[in-house]
Amino acid sequence: MTEVVDRPAGKGHKPATTAHPVTDHAQPAVNVDALGRQLLGKWAAVRLQSRDLAGRPELHKIEGMTHSDHRARVSGQLKYLVDNSAVHRAFPSALGGSDDHGGNIAGFEELVVADPSLQIKAGVQWGLFGSAVMHLGTEEHHTKWLPGIMSLEIPGCFAMTETGHGSDVASIATTATYHPETEEFVVHTPFRAAWKDYIGNAAIDGLGAVVFAQLITRGVNHGVHAFYVDLRDPRTKEFLPGIGGEDDGVKGGLNGIDNGRLHFTNVRIPRTNLLNRYGDVAPDGTYSSPIASPGRRFFTMLGTLVQGRVSLDGAAVAASKVALKAAVHYAAERRQFNASSHTDEEVLLDYQRHQRRLFTRLATTYAAGFAHEQLLQKFDDVFSGATDTDADRQDLETLAAALKPLSTWHALDTLQECREACGGAGFLIENRFASLRADLDVYATFEGDNTVLLQLVAKRLLADYAKEFRSVDFGVLARYVVGQATGTAIHRTGLRQVAQFMADTGSVQKAAIALRDEEGQRALLTDRVQTMVAEAASALKGSNRLSQEKGAALFNRHQNELIDAAQAHAELLQWEAFTEALRDVTDPGTKTVLTWLRDLFGLSLIEKNLSWYLMNGRLSMQRGRTVGEYINRLLVKIRPHALDLVDAFGYGDEHVRAAVATGAEKIRQDEARAHFRAQRASGKAAVDEKVLLARTAAGRHS
């Protein structure tokens, strides 16, 4: 049975009506306000300020616009952001910024709820173009270009990706060759595949660009560096001599951004247009760099631009929250099929399958949100200089490369599932699921293709694994090998399965207790990562002594397992972040419900990979069968708190903007129920044929 209760509406908080199931025993209660404050994180004030902006109609996407009109609207919205001091937090205080790197990302990612095109175009202007000048340039460059970039006087492009090379930045083909006689670089695109492609602001608005090219001086290629290049005449908006391009046209989403292609034919730029923080060329053509290793230099330059991945991670989480708030509220009101009553239909959210569809994704969204807060803190520590060592930067790059794929894939999956969970209504553009999914589709390949990023994570895991044994003596290594062999023998001979069965003693209840235990979940999730990495490392042992061709072939044979290991590692990071966040929850009821949600996340990961756990002897068949059963029990426990959990996200109607989440469905359902109730009470209702047949049959038997 479901009782409908009224709750006060409020901007950025809860709609007027929600539904909670009534149970016979006392339930823990979620402190929505306290949980909401925790979810806002360290930069709560900035997030709230940005949400206030994102809730204003001036910044909202207008569905159905032509791509030309949408582009014009978003361009105008950028000026609105400037006028409202929303985009300068990360820039130097000497130039009007506030040196707040974490706050800048926290505020920026909230813009996704207004219009993803606005978020990404703002990201191109200030998060990529402006940040490249700030982080790769020096004080001379800052003084010359940053004020115009900050004020939008210089709209610009981040020209890295080429048609022939996307994530493989090291292999881009555009060149910048130094000529000492004129003290100029000549930027040149040698063939069609070297055109800069999918570049935001390139089709219409961009006046300048940071162009990534192979730096060549004195006959030596020093690898990829960044150069400032003027693109268009500010008065006529026409390309300058030697520069050309094309409009990418209509895309699958994000059509408020004027993506385009750029090419250069022997374009001359001053020597000082080289953004030379990590590599410089003297007037005579002599190259110098504070980083001797070309490889480390390359990754250091790219690492300064990691904020794109960090912000996409957060924006994807925000989009998932908005989708779930709409879908859960709709499911708490929409009725379908009268399975348990002759008169009342069931609320969708009371169906187990519907709970599975939404609650598991809700749990993952919480985990991804807590993990993002840790990533954002790490980003701020590095870019503020609080902990800015080479190791810290490598950790930040790896963490961003691990979490961004999971959150962006999760957002696409969540938007699709929420769309389907709302039936035909979910497909209507007024409910935003289809629109948001189309716009976020490219997030899976923005700032690094997700699969490529996970491969980078896998290589780091292998490197860390190898480092453990680089300096150990033979005795330590021998003991480790013996331990591994013993462990493998236990798993393969089924001794672990027997031990589990004896511990469970055939009791489903005991098996469930073992799985819901925090340390039990941690052990299973960690063991899978460690085992997968160890097996890959063993398979690749000695590959560094092979020829380049044979080494690459060996790596390729194990690429799939490596990427799976990296994903398992990222999922473990999310689980740990969720678990750590539980320690900060002081309200007992909220902590209980969040623990159930954490358990749902952890057990869903185990269920998803149940075949691995069974085949590798980590779970007995007896315990494996209890995973799904315990998940179903958790769904029942979480059901009364589902609305509170999505309301704690803090997004109001002005952010969600989905007709299905306005309470209109409850009004319709109440009207329908009142109609049939009055009809039955009047005694004039038509008799259902099935009821009539049943009565006739009963009369015959009597």
User: Rounded to whole angstroms, how far apart are CA atoms 77 and 70?
Assistant: 11
Supply 342's token pair: 């002759």
User: Rounded to whole angstroms, how far apart are CA atoms 88 and 120?
Assistant: 15
User: Rounded to whole angstroms, how far apart are CA atoms 669 and 347?
Assistant: 10
User: Rounded to whole angstroms, how far apart are CA atoms 403 and 368?
Assistant: 8
Contact 434, 419 (CB under 8 A): yes
User: Rounded to whole angstroms, how far apart are CA atoms 132 and 228?
Assistant: 10
User: Rounded to whole angstroms, how far apart are CA atoms 175 and 168?
Assistant: 16
Alpha-carbon dihedral angle through residues 309, 311, 313, 315, given to the nearest 10 degrees = -140
Contact 167, 449 (CB under 8 A): yes
Alpha-carbon dihedral angle through residues 611, 612, 616, 621, given to the nearest 10 degrees = -30
Residue carrying the six token digits 């007995």: 620
Alpha-carbon separation of residue 41 from 302, 314, 369 (angstroms)? 27, 12, 10
What are residue 320's phi and psi, to 5 degrees? -65, -40
**E strand or H helix at 15:** none
Spatial neighbors of 635 by CB under 8 A, at least 6 apart, are 352, 355, 356, 359, 600
Residue carrying the six token digits 């009725």: 335
The strand pairing partners of 260, in sequence order, are 199, 247
DSSP type of residue 2: E
User: Rounded to whole angstroms, how far apart are CA atoms 541 and 560?
Assistant: 17
Active site residue 447: yes
Could you write out the three-class secondary structure of 452-489?
Answer: HHHHHHHHHHHHHHHHHCCCCCHHHHHHHHHHHHHHHH
User: Rounded to whole angstroms, how far apart are CA atoms 617 and 488?
Assistant: 9
Q: How many CB atoms lie within 10 A of CB 685?
A: 11
Q: Which of 109, 184, 333, 447 is catalytic?
A: 447
Q: How many CA atoms lie within 13 A of 569 on its CB side?
A: 29
DSSP tally for the chain: helices H, then strands E = 27, 13
Contacts of 93-101 with C-beta under 8 Å, sequence gap 24+, read: 95/142, 95/146, 95/147, 95/150, 96/147, 96/150, 97/150, 99/384, 100/46, 101/307, 101/379, 101/380, 101/383, 101/384
**E strand or H helix at 23:** none
Supply 89's token pair: 């937090």
Which residues in 325-345 are b (16+ Cβ under 10 Å) and which e?
bbbbbbbbbbbeeeeeeeeeb
Q: Is the dihedral of CA 10, 16, 20, 24 positive or negative?
A: positive
Tell me if residue 629 falls in helix, strand or coil: helix
Contact 504, 550 (CB under 8 A): no
The strand pairing partners of 225, in sequence order, are 213
Annotated catalytic residues are 447
